[in-house]
């Protein structure tokens, strides 16, 4: 059997992971001395309640080789092949930890894929990998195809508040203060290298979605054979607004993938963010 494994920054819910038969390895988040497994010991709603009520940002830890070694060896001992799809190496050492563990496993076939992305865009690639597995592709075939798809995956999102970017040191206090007064909402994306970049800014959520629609319209069109993913940080009511704003520039034929941003990305963007991920046509 082909086992698909991903990390918790894919923000796949426990329920969705079970439905896809995908092994999701959760990340650990720390509020002071309190430690939680994201999505297991603490819900997304509980996380954002704690985040917004505290003055200090929580911290998160990447998965280490020992975490992966235990999981990999268990499946290899069962005779399974493994495809591991993890967040961008530009954002975390998690993928490198998986590679170290792979080289320590005795026997077995293990393929590690750097998704070059994160959150619901990573979930989109995992969904595609599960579909390929169900079609009977081998682990090697799935890994090779996902690596190709990763190069065509696009992620764009609007951050509702500058507060958490300031707390995390991503922007200065002065920039945050001026931006807050002007109601500026940053528009961010993940580039082809797998790094987060500032793409633009808007004065409202509606104008930000219009900006994203224009950006998508000017780029290579989305692959109509692949689903589109939408994500939010504790703001599910904004997903329909996002879908409506982008309906003219994104295919609507397939059911969308909808994800809720978890602790790792939520720590930096805060609540209220919304965005879209899709796979561009070749």
Ordered alpha helix ranges (H), the chain: 14-20, 44-53, 65-77, 94-104, 119-134, 139-152, 163-167, 173-182, 205-218, 238-246, 263-269
Backbone angles phi, psi at 223, to 5 degrees: -70, 115
3-state secondary structure of 13: coil
pLDDT band of 199, cuts 50, 70, 90: confident
Residue 170 reports pLDDT greater than 80? no
CA angle 34, 36, 37 (to 5 degrees): 165
- Chain centroid to CA 106: how far? 30
100-110, pLDDT tens digit by residue? 999 999 889 99
What pLDDT was estimated at residue 238? Answer: 97
Q: Report the C-alpha gap between 234 and 237 in whole angstroms.
A: 9
Contact 64, 97 (CB under 8 A): yes
Q: How would you label 247-259 residue by residue, b for 16+ Cβ within 10 Å and e otherwise?
A: eebbbeeeebbbb
CA-to-CA dists, residue 194 to 4, 93, 154, 224, 256, angstroms: 21, 13, 10, 23, 23
- Chain centroid to CA 206: how far? 23
Q: Report the C-alpha gap between 78 and 8 in whole angstroms.
A: 24
What is the torsional sign of CA 134, 139, 142, 146?
A: positive
117-149, pLDDT tens digit by residue? 999 999 999 999 999 999 999 999 999 999 999
pLDDT band of 174, cuts 50, 70, 90: very low
Q: Is 225 exposed, middle or buried, given 0-12, 13-18 or 19+ CB atoms closer than 10 A? A: exposed
When pLDDT is averaged across residues 259-269 and rounded to a whole number, the result is: 90
What is the share, in percent, of the chain residues with pLDDT greater than 70?
A: 93
List, edge to edge, every strand of the sheet that includes 196-202. Answer: 196-202, 185-190, 153-158, 274-279, 229-232, 257-260
8-18, pLDDT tens digit by residue? 999 998 889 99
- Chain centroid to CA 222: how far? 18
Place of tokens 């959150």: 119
What pLDDT was estimated at residue 168? Answer: 46
More confident residue, 282 or 156: 156
Residue 34 reports pLDDT greater than 80? yes
Contact 71, 110 (CB under 8 A): no
CA angle 235, 122, 200 (to 5 degrees): 60
Residues 6+ apart with CB under 8 A from 127: 20, 227, 229, 257
For 237, the token pair is 């009511």
């Amino acid at each position: 059997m082909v086992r698909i494994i991903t990390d918790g920054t894919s923000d796949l819910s426990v329920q969705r992971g079970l439905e896809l038969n995908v092994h999701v390895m959760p990340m650990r988040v720390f509020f002071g001395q309190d430690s939680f497994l994201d999505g297991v010991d603490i819900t997304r709603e509980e996380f954002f309640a704690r985040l917004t009520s505290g003055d200090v940002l929580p911290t998160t830890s990447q998965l280490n080789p020992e975490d992966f070694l235990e999981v990999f060896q268990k499946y290899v001992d069962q005779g399974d092949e493994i495809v591991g799809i993890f967040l961008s190496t530009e954002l975390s050492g998690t993928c490198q930890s998986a590679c170290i563990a792979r080289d320590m496993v005795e026997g077995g076939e293990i393929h590690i894929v750097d998704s070059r992305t994160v959150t619901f865009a990573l979930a989109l690639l995992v969904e595609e990998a599960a579909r390929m597995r169900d079609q009977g592709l081998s682990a090697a075939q799935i890994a090779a195809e996902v690596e190709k798809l990763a190069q065509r995956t696009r992620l764009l999102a609007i951050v509702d508040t500058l507060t958490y970017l300031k707390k995390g040191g991503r922007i200065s206090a002065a920039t945050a203060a001026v931006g807050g007064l002007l109601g500026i909402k940053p528009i961010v994306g993940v580039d082809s290298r797998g790094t987060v970049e500032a793409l633009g800014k808007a004065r409202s959520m509606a104008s930000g979605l219009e900006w994203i629609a224009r950006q998508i319209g000017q780029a290579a069109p989305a692959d109509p054979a692949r689903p589109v993913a939408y994500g939010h940080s504790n703001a599910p009511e904004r997903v329909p607004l996002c879908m409506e704003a982008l309906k003219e520039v994104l295919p609507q034929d397939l059911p969308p993938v909808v994800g809720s941003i978890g602790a790792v990305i939520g720590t930096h963007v805060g609540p209220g963010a919304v965005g879209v991920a899709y796979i561009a046509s070749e």
